[in-house]
Structure 1
Amino acid sequence: MRKTLTIQGDMCDLIAFREYGTEAASGAIWDANPGLADHGPVLPAGLEIVLPDWTPPELEPALSPVRDGITGGT
Structure 2
Amino acid sequence: MIELRSRQGDTVDLICRRAYGRETAETVAAALDTNPGLAALGPILPVGTVVRLPDPPSAPPRRAVVRLWD
The interval holding the TM-score normalised by the smaller chain is: 0.7 to 0.9
Segments of structure 2 that go 5 or more residues without pairing to the other structure are none
Segments of structure 1 that go 5 or more residues without pairing to the other structure are 67-74
What amino acid is the match of 1:31?
A: D
Q: Please state how far the C-alpha of 1:9 moved relative to its aligned partner.
A: 0.4
Pairing 1:22–2:22 present: yes
Aligned residues with identical type, % of pairs:
41
Give the direction of change, closer, same or farther, for the CA distance of 1:43–1:62 in structure 2 (3 Å limit).
farther
* Corresponding pairs, count: 66
Higher relative CO (CA 8 A, sep ≥ 6), structure 1 or 2? 2
Q: TM-score, normalised by structure 2?
A: 0.77
Aligned counterpart in structure 1 of residue 48 of structure 2, from 42, 46, 49 = 46
Aligned counterpart in structure 1 of residue 39 of structure 2, from 12, 33, 37 = 37
Paired with 2:49 and 2:3, the residues of 1 have a C-alpha distance of 10
Bigger CA radius of gyration: 1
What amino acid is the match of 1:21?
A: G
Question: Aligned to 1:49, what secondary structure does the other structure show?
Answer: strand
Q: TM-score, normalised by structure 1?
A: 0.73
Q: CA RMSD in A?
A: 1.9
Q: Please state how far the C-alpha of 1:13 moved relative to its aligned partner.
A: 0.6
